[in-house]
Chain A
Amino acid sequence: MKPLATALILLASPLTAAEIWVTNEKDDTISVIDIDTLDVTRTIPTGERPRGITFSKDFSRVYICASNSDTVQVMDPETGKILHDLPSGEDPEQFVLHPNDRHLYIANEDDAVTTVVDTETRKVIAQINVGIEPEGMAVSPDGKIAITTSETTNMAHWIDTDTRQIVANTLVDARPRHAEFTANGSELWVSSEIGGTITVFDVATHAEKAKLDFAVKGVHPDRVQPVGFEFTEDEKTAFVALGPSNHVAVVNAETYEVEDYILVGRRVWHMAFSPDKSLLFTTNGVSGDVTVIDVAKREAIKTIKVGRFPWGAAFRP
């Protein structure tokens, strides 16, 4: 049975090659990159100013923050057609899908609010007041805690997903941008763009456990600005986009030391792995392209032109 299944997958693979979906903030489009050919195969129109992008668990739907349309769009990834819009609150920038595959936690950048939307009933089920310019969104692997980071308030807000109340506020360095839990849920990482650091929290106690600094040779520390980051499959390494320093840092997630810096496009922002996590795709806002990084070799292997101001990235198997 198993060889047959493998054969079927092999047969099917040319038709369903994995893809990276990239939102182009200033083009109102998504560029779809074929992971085998590393070319853009489709450009799909979206609402205004698309930024955050994420797929449902079964990849049958893709959610897109259309910030200036004040909505989250739900798209059929096969056809590229918008199925419907979700109420999102004003100016949705970034979001995270709860492990229940149903609730979207949305940062409303202009409104100092986190909105929780039920994707089935298409209704807003809660709005939580957070700090000014919320952006980074994360949810713990067990689904119990959602995090919103606020750029101007410089905090990570810890939200209990049952009560939908804030249970803690922890200060980080200036202008936090992105938050991620480690896969086992024990650590929360928060990047601070202007502070130039990543703060690692112990989730159980909310206490600060470590702080990561970055230093790119030949670039003033002020311009080394950590934004998006992702962990490798084994959780031993984190790749951190460093904004206008045009580099991605490779961080040892156990010792918190930076092991390498990889030169990529200009103002590197977010990133997504290929399904097997062998390739990493970074969105480079100012140069309008995507850099492909060979994860094992820690080398940039290709630059792919996409639309204007690529922002978010997500893979589709």
Chain B
Amino acid sequence: MRQIWQIFLAVLLGAQTAVADIDVPIIYLKQDQDRPPILSNLDTIPDNLGIAGAQLGLAGNLTTGGFLGHSYTLDIRTVPIGGDLVAAAIQALSDSPLLILDTPAADLLTIADLAQAKDALLFNVAAPAQALRNTDCRANLLHTLPSLTMRADALMQFIRFKRWDSLAMVTGAHPGDIAFAEALRSSATKFGLKIATEKSWIFDADMRRNAAQEVPLFTQDLGKYDLLLIADELHDFGRYIAYNTWTPRPVAGSEGLVPTAWAPVVEQWGAAQLQSRFHDQSNRTMHATDYAAWAAIRTLGEAVTRTSTADPVTLRSFILSDKFELAGFKGRPLSYRTWNGQMRQPIPLVTARALVAQAPLPGYLHQRTELDTLGLDAPESGCTAFQ
């Protein structure tokens, strides 16, 4: 009787939701990285950053898949510093065409260009570099982490909205700081703002002890400004600047008001549910990289659910189609840009304790979707691999 019922159901529901067993193996490949020392001893970077997000995404996929006969596995492979990432990638690609990549930008390109990766579907969850979404894009590489430009645009929309027209910036010396500073500069131009003065953070003194003495002097010659931008993506010195500037002004960028893909203070649009599930699972708060990894796994889950296949080529074309939508707890459906594979998403602007605003802000219009006011739009994109 049960069997008849199942057949009856399968006939009724047709191909769209037919009950068919599908196995979806996903591999999370992480390259361990050196992290330069920073002034504060308070920060701990979780060992399972990103991985925990992927695990939560897997739990979601398994629940949905359980009702449809779809099973998912997540195989986590970590390459130590100095290890052979390429060999690990080749092995991973021979085991599954669905890879979540948590590696530096250069390694992403090496992996995406492997012959074995030709028909694979790769997700970048950790590298924010603009070039990966621009001239260095690859057709088999999608990005769930927002680019530096998307984050910078989100902040500049807010600054413009507040009419804080005059800006100053302090930039650290690490490559990540310099890249974010560059994104902030281009974005300021895009939104008609000007960064009037800039200084590089050159101190090698211990700011935990003497920020109160040094920062006022350091910021005294920045002139008149409404807001001080800080490009300090390692979170080395930026935290000591707020409240110690010569002129009392708010700070934003890497510290103060921060544009980020995700933060523990995001709670609207059902996000509190995701935060609490994450905390129950991993006993810590959810970071942007966790969110990107979660979104990548859920993207695969959503695509498998709707297409009833694990074939990477079919999944990719569905993910890039206008039929794809992911409920990502940010109040609007998430989708992918067809010109460079970047996941469209709202960008929260947060302080340590609250969501201040969420970009795109009201009033920034776009003919396709306001989400495309953040980051590289089709006409500006130098990516040709998706054509």
Contact = CB atoms under 8 A, between A and B. Distances in A.
B338 interface: no
B64 A223 contact: no
Contacts of B305: 154, 171
Interface stretch (B190-198, B228-236, B325-333): B325-333
Given A132-B63, A155-B67, A169-B67, A222 B332 contact: yes
B270 A155 contact: no
Contact of A194 (B5, B17, B67, B325): B325
B326 A174 contact: yes
Given A171-B16, A207-B12, A112 B327 contact: no
Nearest to B325: A174
A183 interface: no
A177 B331 CA distance: 14
B273 A133 contact: yes
A175 interface: yes
Contacts of B5: 167
B331 A207 contact: no
B223 to A, nearest CB: 39
A4 to B, nearest CB: 54
A133 B273 CA distance: 8
B291 to A, nearest CB: 14
Contacts of A168: 9
A131 B67 contact: yes
Interface string A216-256: 00001011000000000000000000001000000000000
Contact of B68 (A112, A169, A173): A169
Contacts of A155: 64, 67
Interface string B11-33: 01100110000000000000000
A194 B333 contact: yes
B165 interface: no
A112 B12 CA distance: 26
B333 A174 contact: yes
B276 interface: yes
B104 interface: no
Contact of A154 (B9, B327, B331): B327
A175 B270 contact: yes
A23 to B, nearest CB: 17
Contact of A207 (B13, B68, B326): B13
| Prevailing SS type, chain A contact patch | loop
A195 B325 contact: yes
Nearest to B332: A222
A151 B13 contact: no
B382 interface: no
B273 A223 contact: no
A175 B12 contact: no
Contact of B9 (A112, A152, A206, A223): A206
A238 B273 CA distance: 30
Interface string B359-375: 00000000001110000
A100 interface: no
Contacts of A112: 63
Contacts of B333: 174, 194-196, 222
A170 interface: yes
A194 B332 contact: yes
A168 B68 CA distance: 10
Contacts of B9: 168, 206
Interface in A148-177: 151-155, 157, 166-171, 173-175
A226 to B, nearest CB: 13
A152 B327 CA distance: 7
A54 to B, nearest CB: 22
Interface string B261-299: 000000000100100110000000000000000000000
A205 B8 CA distance: 9
Contacts of A151: 270, 273, 327
B292 to A, nearest CB: 18
A204 B310 CA distance: 31
A110 interface: yes
Interface in B296-325: 302, 305-306, 325
A148 B375 CA distance: 39
B60 interface: yes
A289 interface: no
B333 to A, nearest CB: 5
A220 B370 contact: yes
B268 to A, nearest CB: 10
Nearest to A174: B327
Contacts of B276: 110
A168 B273 CA distance: 26
A253 B371 CA distance: 33
Given A110-B273, A222-B369, A223-B332, A170 B63 contact: no
9 contacts: A110-B277, A132-B63, A152-B327, A169-B68, A171-B16, A205-B12, A206-B9, A207-B12, A222-B369
Q: Which 7 interchain pairs have the tightest Cβ spacing?
A: A174-B327, A222-B332, A169-B67, A194-B327, A175-B327, A153-B64, A194-B333
Given A174-B333, A195-B333, 10 more contacts: A110-B273, A131-B63, A152-B273, A154-B64, A171-B16, A174-B302, A174-B325, A194-B333, A207-B12, A220-B370
Interface of B: 5, 9, 12-13, 16-17, 59-60, 63-64, 67-68, 270, 273, 276-277, 302, 305-306, 325-327, 331-333, 369-371
Interface of A: 109-110, 112, 131-133, 151-155, 157, 166-171, 173-175, 193-196, 205-207, 220, 222-223, 244
